[in-house]
Amino acid sequence: MPYDTIVLITGAKTGIGKGLLATYAQRPNTLAIAAIRDGPDSSPAQTLTSLSVGEGSKVLVAKYDAGSPTAAEELANDLRDKYEITHLDVVIANAGILKAYGPARTVKFEDLQEHLLINTIAPILLYQQTAPLLEHSKQETPRFFIISSTLGSNALMDNYPLQLIAYGMSKAAVNFAAGRIHREEERIAIIPVQPGWVQTAMGEKAAAFAGMEAKDVPTTLEESVSGLMKVFDGATKEGQSGRFWDQEGKEVPW
């Protein structure tokens, strides 16, 4: 039986990515593809393929390492050749890092490079490789989402005084890329989305850097995923594409 929706999520092993994967998988007639660094033969893959699924639905695990310049091409080739997937309806570029903390005076070249590679360049390469599959979607609006952050908003910089230049730059750059790609695509919606400051390993590390306790991180994983799903389901080319949104469906200034 053909699937009503085929969704690809990178960085789906833990946190927001896993939460989105599990939510999509519980819907009927949905193929939820988890693209993870560990690959399909790993113990994390076994955990993901054991998730509860809806009627006619399935979780599939594919290999994808956002830090590799060839990963997106290899993933797209596997989807077509190994898994015989001819189209995608939704792609969520969720894989990302937040590893460098501190002021601009001391940030290392290697940290700037790694954040830009994984948080900015990798989503662009993923778009390039998945766009032909999204073009074959039978849905009215094939959608490409990027999990971004308000820490990449120049307009909101005074609201978030954390010294995270590598991370913030990488998210600002990927937001620009989304806006540029939106203007070049006639049908595919390209949308960066802020998931909230979420109670995940990444969110809790940022809290520790800010002198907060993990319990003070404001958004639960369940709240984030639920809000993101509403944004994803309601997104259109005319309404949301090329603009920056948060998990509550509010537009975020650049």
CA distance 127 to 136: 14
Tokens matching residue 22: 């599990």
Write down the catalytic residue from 108, 171, 230, 250: 171
Tokens matching residue 251: 């537009």
Write down the catalytic residue from 167, 205, 215, 230: 167
Which residues, at least 6 apart from 232, have a Cβ–Cβ distance to it below 8 Å? Answer: 90, 92, 143, 145, 193
Buried b (16+ CB within 10 A) or exposed e, 132-157: ebbeebeeebbbbbbbbbbbbbeeee
> Is 171 an annotated catalytic residue?
yes
Across the beta sheet with 30-36, the strand order is 58-63, 30-36, 5-10, 90-93, 143-147, 189-194, 245-246
Buried b (16+ CB within 10 A) or exposed e, 18-39: bbbbbbbbebeebbbbbbbbbe
CA distance 218 to 214: 9
Catalytic positions, written as ranges = 167, 171
